[in-house]
Amino acid sequence: MYNAIRVGCETLFGYAGRILRINLSTGSIKTEPLKEEIAKKYIGGIGLGIRLWLDNSKPGLDPFSPENPLILATGPLSGTIAPTGGNGHAFVSKSPQTFGVAEAKSHGVFGAELKRAGYDAVIFEGKAEKPVYVWIDDDSVQIMDAKHLWGKSTQETEDMIKEELGDYYIRVASIGPAGEKLCRIACIINDKTRAAGRCGLGAVMGSKNLKAIAVRGTKDVSVAKPEEFLEFVKVLHERMKGPATVKYRTLGTPQNVLVHNSLGCLPTRNFTNAVFEGAEKVSGEYLNMRFVTKINGCNSCAMRCEHIAVVPEGPYKGTMARVEYEPLWAFGPHCGVDRMDAIIKAIDLCNYYGMDAISAGVIVGFAMDCYEHGILTKDDTGGLDLRFGNAEAMVKITEMMGRREGLGNILAEGVKRAAEIIGKGAEKFANHIKGVEMTGYDIRGLKTAALGYAVSFRGACHNRHGAYALDIAGKTDRFKFEKGRSKLIIEIEDLYMIIDSLIVCKFSRGVYYKGFEDLAKYYTLVTGIDMTAEELRRAGERLSNLARLANIREGLSRKDDHLPIKVMTTPIPDETVSKGSYITQEELDFMLDDYYIHRGWTKDGVPTLEKIKELGLEDLSHIVEGKV
Amino acid sequence: MSRMLKPPIHARKFVSVDPDKCVGCGVCEYICSYEKEKVFNPLKSRIRIVRLGLTINMSLACRLCEDPPCVASCPRDALKQSEETGVILVDEDKCNGCGWCIEACDYGAIMLHPDKKVVFVCDTCNGSPKCVEWCPEKALDFTTKDVVAQKSRISAVKKLFYEVLRT
C-alpha cells in the first residue's frame, strides 16, 4: 500500500502553489497547481477549503459516505514569521451534525509544517479498506498501515508515529477513539492539545479509516516583499504587547466566567440559569492562581495564550490540559459543576478520546437536565447519579461518551440526535443550532449575538460573528434588536471569514487596527498579489455567500436559522440585569428579515442572482435555480 | 609579552535562554533563517526549539564551549574556534558533512545544512544576534557565562530576602 510522488512546484509567494489529492480507496496520489486567480478569490484556509469541498462533492451525500471529501487547507501566511498567521490550518467537509458545510480550524505547529512540505491544501477522497495514516514527507506521500494505532488516544498516536518514523520534529494531526467510532462530536487534534474541534469532522476522518496525518516539511517559505513584511511584523509584535491582547496573555479566555456571571449571561445548568453561584471557584482568576503552571505559544506567535493547567491534588492529581473558557464553561457552570480539578480532567478526556470539549460538556449538561426531569433514570445512566453539580458523574459520563459505552453511545450522537433517540420531550433540553451544541453565551440576553448564532453556517458558534462583543461591551442594546443592526453582524462575519481564510488567530483580531486595510497589506506583502482593503472585504462577503450557497445546495434554508427551544421559551429566571429576557419567534423572524435584506438575500435566505454575479460566483448560480 | 593567552571572560557572549520565559513560539528560528538565508525555514536556523510534554520549552544555540568537542572531533580541521569571540568557524571547503562534530556536541547546536550538506552553527550575527532582538518574550539574552551566574546569584538572594526587600 505504498505510493510516492515527486513533482515540481509552481512559484508563488506565501502560497506553496500546490494542492495534494489523496484517494484512500484507490491509493492514488496526485498534485495539482493552485491557480493564482483561485488563490486571490478564495484566499486560503476555510475559504479555499469550502470552495474545494463544493467542487469535489455531490449534493446530498451522507457525511460518512466515502464520496464526501475531507479538505485540509493552510493559509497564505502559514510557514512565515507572521505572528499567529504562521501556524494555522483548517479542515472543511460536510458535517455529520449540521449536514451542511462545516469548518474547524486549529493552530499549533502542524499548519506551518504542511506548508513547508509544499502544499496549500490536501483533498482526502474515498475510504481506506483498513485503518491507515498518511505520511507526507515533502514530495513523498505514502499511505501507511495504522492497525497498531487504532484505538489509541491522539497523544499516543502522535508519539508512536514520531517514534516509528524516527523524527521527533514530525507534526501529527490525528483522531482518537471517538473519531474511529464516528462520535458526531469527534475532533481532529494536532500537537497534543490543539483541536480542530467543532462540527464532528473527526468522525468524517474516522469514516475514511484515516487515523492520522503526519507531516515533515523541509522546504523554504518565501514572501514577496520580505523587508516591508518584517517591518509590518515588527509593528504587529509591538501591538501584541498592548491592550488588544492583554486578556489572552494574562488570565486567558477564562476571564469571561466572572464577566459573564456579572452580566447575567453565563449559561448555567443547561441554560436553566444565567448566573452561577459557584462562579468564583471556576473563574479565570482561581484557575490561574491554583492550576496554571505554564503559558505556551503557537508557532510564530508573539502573544501566547495557551494556559496549561495541572491538577495538584485529589482524585485527578497530575492531570494536565490546556484550559480555555468554552470547555471550562461547558463542563463547569453549564453542568452546575464548581470543581476545577474535575473540569480539567474532563477536558483532558476530550483530548484523549478526540472529542470537541465544548459539545461534550453541553451534552453532559443536557443529559443532567434530562435526569433531573426524570426523562433519564439510573436504569439509563448505568447507576450514575447524573444530577447537576455531580463532578464525578460528569467525568464518568464524558469517558463513556468517548468509548461509546452505555448511555454514552446515545450521547455521542450529539444533543439533537440523542434527544430524538431518547424521546419523552428531551428535545426541549437539547440546546443546539443546526445540530451543533451551544457555546458559553446566554443569548437570551445577548440579542445581537443571538442573530449571529442563528445564521452561522456551521451551527451554534460564537466565532463566526463575534457579535457577543458588541452586546457585552454595551455598544448595542442587548435586550432589544432594532432594524439595521444586522449590518454590524455582517461586517464582522465578513471580516472573520478573512481572518479564518488567511488563518490568523482570532485572539489577534484586535491588533489589525485598520481591519481589512491591515489584513490586505499583510496579504500583499506575503503573496505579492495586489489586494486592496475593499477587494478583501469583497472577498469576505464572497466567502460568506459561498458558505451559504453550499448549505443551500445541501438543503438548508431559513428554517435552519433557528435558536434552541429553551432560548425561545424560557425567560432568564435569575435576579440579575438580564432577568426575564428571552427571544420570541416573532423577534427572531424580525432579526432574520433584517439580516437577509442587508445580505441581499431573499426572504428565504437565498442569495439572489444579482448578488451571486456581483461576487463573481456565477458558476454556482445553478444552486439557487428555482429558489429566487 | 602583551598578547593575552586567554581572552577575558567578558569577551565571549553567547545566546542564553531562560526556559521559564520561553513559550516555544519559534520566532527565533524564523528570524534566524531569514537573517542568514533570506527564507523562512526552521531547518536552516542556527537556534532550535525543543518542547517536552506540555510544560517545557527551550530553544538552544551554540554555547561557545571552552575547548569545544566539535572542533576536537573534526578529522579534516574544518572547524576552529575564534579566539576573540569563541564562535565556531566552519571552513565549508574542508567540511564534507561527515557529522562527527554533530555527534560530539552535547547540545545539538551544530547541524547539517539541508541544502549545502556542510555543518552550520550560530555565529551570534557578529555580536548582535537577531533572535535576541526579536524574541517576543525576552527569553533570550546575549550574555556571558559570568553574567548568567551573577544573575542567578542575585535572584537567589532576592528570593531569600524577599520579605526584607519588600519593606
- pLDDT digit string, tens, across residues B25-46: 999 999 999 999 999 999 999 9
Pair A241, A248: CB distance under 8 Å: no
Is the pLDDT confidence value at A2 over 60? no
pTM metric for this prediction? 0.95
As a whole number, the mean pLDDT across chain B is 93
User: Which residues have C-beta within 8 Å of that of residue A227, sequence separation ≥ 6?
Assistant: none
φ/ψ of residue A432, rounded to 5: -145, 160
Three-state DSSP at A549 gives helix
Backbone angles phi, psi at A300, to 5 degrees: 75, 0
**Residue A374 contacts by C-beta under 8 Å, 6 or more apart in sequence?**
none
How much is the pLDDT for A589? 98
Computed over every residue of chain A, the mean pLDDT equals 96
pLDDT tens digits for range A259-314: 999 999 999 999 999 999 999 999 999 999 999 999 999 999 999 999 999 999 99
φ/ψ of A439, rounded to 5, equals: -120, 180
Indicate yes or no: CB of A240 within 8 angstroms of CB of B24.
no
CA angle A197, A151, A129 (to 5 degrees): 90
Q: What DSSP element (H or E) covers A70?
A: strand A70-74
pLDDT digits 0-9 by tens, A98-128: 999 999 999 999 999 999 999 999 999 999 9
| Mean pLDDT confidence for B128-133 | 98
Residues of B with CB under 8 A from a CB of A: 23-27, 30-31, 33-34, 37-41, 43-44, 51, 53-57, 114, 134, 136-137
What domains are defined for chain A? 18-216 (3.60.9.10), 247-430 (1.10.569.10), 446-624 (1.10.599.10)
Span A498-510, pLDDT tens digits: 999 999 999 999 9
Domains and CATH numbers, chain B: 1-61+122-167 (3.30.70.20), 64-121 (3.30.70.20)
A70-74 and A432-433 strand pairing: unpaired
Which phi-psi region, left, alpha or beta, contains residue A16 (left: φ > 0; alpha: ψ -120 to 50)? alpha
Q: Between the CA of residue A464 and those of A109, A134, A216, A607, B120, what are the distances in Å?
A: 23, 30, 31, 19, 46
CA distances from A320 to A334, A396, A624, B23 (A): 21, 17, 49, 17
Q: Which of A157, A10, A128, A140 is nearest to A70 (CA)?
A: A128
C-alpha distance from B82 to closest chain A C-alpha (Å): 30
- ipTM, two decimals, is 0.93
What is the Cα–Cα distance from A294 to A305, expressed in whole angstroms?
Answer: 10
Residue A265 and residue A284: Cα distance in Å, rounded? 16
Inter-residue contact B131 to B61 (CB < 8 Å)? yes
Look at B3 and B134; give whichever has higher pLDDT: B134
Between chains, do B31 and A219 touch, taking CB under 8 Å as contact?
no
Closest alpha carbon to A121 in A221, A28, A185, A51? A51
Band (pLDDT 50/70/90 cuts) for residue A4 is very low
E-strand ranges in A175-270 read 188-190, 194-196, 210-216
Which residues from A are below 8 Å from B136, CB to CB? 83, 237, 240-241, 297, 301-304
Task: Collect all residues with Cβ–Cβ distance below 8 Å to A282 and sequence separation of at least 6.
Answer: A257, A276, A328, A332, A333, A337, A338, A340, A343
A584-608 pLDDT, tens per residue?
A: 999 999 999 999 999 999 999 999 9
On whether the CB atoms of residues A531 and A40 are closer than 8 A, the answer is yes
- The stretch A322-346 carries a mean pLDDT of 98
Whether residue B164 is predicted with pLDDT greater than 90 in this model: the reply is no
Run of H or E residues at B158: helix B145-160
- The grid cell for A44 is 486560503
Residue A369 has pLDDT above 50, yes or no: yes
Query: pLDDT at residue A1 above 50?
Result: no
Cα gap A280→A255, rounded to integer Å: 11
Residue of B nearest to A249 (CA): B137
User: Could you tell me the three cell numbers for A299?
Assistant: 508557532
Q: Tell me phi and psi for residue A354, to 5 degrees.
A: 80, 55
Contact yes or no for B55 and A295 at CB 8 A: no
One-letter amino acid at A274 equals A
In this predicted model, what pLDDT tens digit does every residue of A153-170 receive, in sequence order?
A: 999 999 999 999 999 999
pLDDT band at A11 (very low <50, low <70, confident <90, very high): low
